[in-house]
A and B are shown apart, each in its own frame.
Chain A
Amino acid sequence: MTGYLHNFGSWFLGILSEAANFCGYFFLVLKTLFGRKPGSYRSGLTVLFKQVLFTGVDALPLIALVSLAIGGIAIIQSLSILPRFGGESFVGKILITVIVRELGPILTGFIVIGRSGTAITAEIGNMVVSHEVEALESMGVDPVRYIVIPRIFGVTASLVSLNIYFDICAILGGFFVSKMVLVTSIFTFLRRMLDAAQASDLWLSLLKGFVFGILISLICTYRGFCVRTSSTEVPQMTTKAVVDAIAAVFIADGIITFMYYV
């Protein structure tokens, strides 16, 4: 019994310690972002630009594929059930509710975690192992300013944009299926969408994208710096980054949805 208690206690203290370390890292990032620091941001602009290219632009084909499929699937599932209850007119509302409010931000977040989050953690971890982070410090280049801040901006801006792109492609996917099944015109379909959509749905989607982007970039950069000495720690921290980021996305989604609608 004491063994189990001991193990539980160790585990719990470990969680608290990790949480404390992450909070410390978060405040360091805030302090670097808003504090007066020597050095130019110019050298970080290249990092920011490359991050937007990788996270945003390179993800467009995958996002299009997933969102077209999701939009089509959502319509198919809706049309398989709703007509029984005379609910064809709710198709647009379902698409907006399910995709714009929930699936869009979450699936976009998952794709960004899988593509960019893992790459960020692995890249920073390898930089730690090969003493590149130490080299930056030795040159007086703040690693948080040079490595972390551009990635936070890049990932967040990309995620918000990809979210909008996801919603557009999902609605298009829904339209293609609707056209096949219901012989709907694009104008009728779009009118139904616009009738069902509210400005708050779009703002909610953008807010989620913004919050998810910050969480994903903070967690993945933090896990990269958690690598200490060995390259074998890099894949371990990458896995932890993915798990932590997915959990954070779900928790944040729940909190935002609760605050918005309850």
Chain B
Amino acid sequence: MGNIIEVRDVSCSFNGETVIGDISMGIPRGGLVAITGTSGSGKSTLLKIMAGLIVPDSGTVEVDGELIGSVSRNTLFLMRRKMSFVFQDAALLSNLNVYNNIALPLRYHFGMDEKLIENKVYGFLQTFDLMRVRNTLPAHLSMGLRKLAGFARALVVEPKIIFFDEPITGIDAIARRKVIERLLPLKRDPEVTIVTVSHNLDFIKSYADRIALVHEQRLFAYGTREETLSSTDPVLQTVLSTIVDEESAEADEVLGLLTGEF
């Protein structure tokens, strides 16, 4: 089986500054690929290029056999029925409550009957422990709940490719555990491919099947988890040691003070 995503010689710049420089990599079908690196190395930009949200200055991205940059707008929107993107800040629609945010892709793409939509959305609300906030607007939710709602919205269309930008950054250990619990069954599904950006090394070491290390806007290393983490390359080890998830550490510290647990 070939790669489900093929990135070839992709470069991207904003306002004259290079964000991504000449990156090539293939994402195999199934499993979890983690893209990591220091802040500002271009990880999120690379993820958005793979998802077709940013058009690179050069190079090509092929998703499930289709060149994303060449297809029509119609075809791209149809392809997106099989893909989902979870943003770092969830990017929920601010004028819709949690229920309607999750229901939106079902109403738009499948024109389902409202009763069927209700059954499906309620199932996801229960799975993600969001039933009590289903009528709440995103502005009144914590970051952890917003991330869970964004995750639920992404999964409701049963995608084959999930792009996840910083799944556990900036949330406390309890919310993090919930996200990971929902992520693990998908990771085990051979039909589902997860590409995630994270600078939480514990998360990457525990769950990634392949690791891509982006450093100074280039692909510094790419291989299986075992290959990458057991590499004795001193430069690679130095770069890995500089990656710190500060936001999650801060969230844990606050939670620890409150609960005395962590």
Contacts and interface: CB of A to CB of B under 8 A. Distances in A.
B51 interface: yes
Nearest to B77: A140
Interface in B62-78: 73-74, 76-78
Interface stretch (A37-45, A159-167, A235-243): A37-45
A229 to B, nearest CB: 9
A138 B84 contact: yes
Given A132-B91, A138-B85, A139-B84, A42 B105 contact: no
B53 interface: yes
Interface string A96-126: 0000000000000000000000000001001
A137 B81 CA distance: 11
A141 interface: yes
B122 interface: no
A57 interface: no
A135 B163 CA distance: 12
Contacts of A135: 85, 87, 91-93
Contacts of B237: none
Given A39-B77, A40-B111, A134-B53, A139 B105 contact: yes
Contacts of B105: 139-141
A142 B89 CA distance: 21
Given A135-B85, A140-B80, A146 B74 contact: no
Give the interface residue-count category, chain B: 20 to 34
A130 interface: yes
Q: SS class of chain B's interface: helix, strand, loop or mixed? A: mixed
Nearest to A135: B91
B64 to A, nearest CB: 14
Interface residues of A, number: 23
Contacts of A191: none
A131 interface: yes
Contacts of A36: 74
B87 A40 contact: no
A43 B74 contact: no
Contacts, number: 79
A40 B107 contact: yes
A132 B153 CA distance: 13
Interface string A126-155: 110011101111111110001000000000
A141 B91 contact: no
A184 to B, nearest CB: 49
Interface in B200-246: none
Given A43-B104, A131-B91, A138-B85, A38 B78 contact: yes
B111 A42 contact: yes
A141 B84 contact: no
Given A132-B91, A137-B53, A38 B77 contact: yes
Contacts of B76: 140
Interface in A24-58: 36-40, 42-43
Contacts of B53: 134, 137-138
B13 interface: no
A152 B163 CA distance: 33
Contacts of B111: 40, 42
A6 to B, nearest CB: 22
Contacts of A126: 94
A198 B163 CA distance: 62
B87 A139 contact: no
Given A130-B89, A142-B77, 5 more contacts: A37-B77, A127-B93, A134-B91, A139-B157, A141-B108
23 contacts: A37-B77, A39-B108, A39-B109, A40-B107, A40-B108, A40-B109, A40-B111, A42-B111, A127-B93, A131-B87, A131-B89, A135-B85, A135-B93, A138-B51, A139-B80, A139-B85, A139-B153, A139-B157, A140-B109, A141-B77, A141-B104, A141-B105, A142-B73
- What 6 pairs between A and B have smallest CB-CB spacing? A140-B80, A138-B85, A135-B91, A40-B111, A131-B91, A140-B77
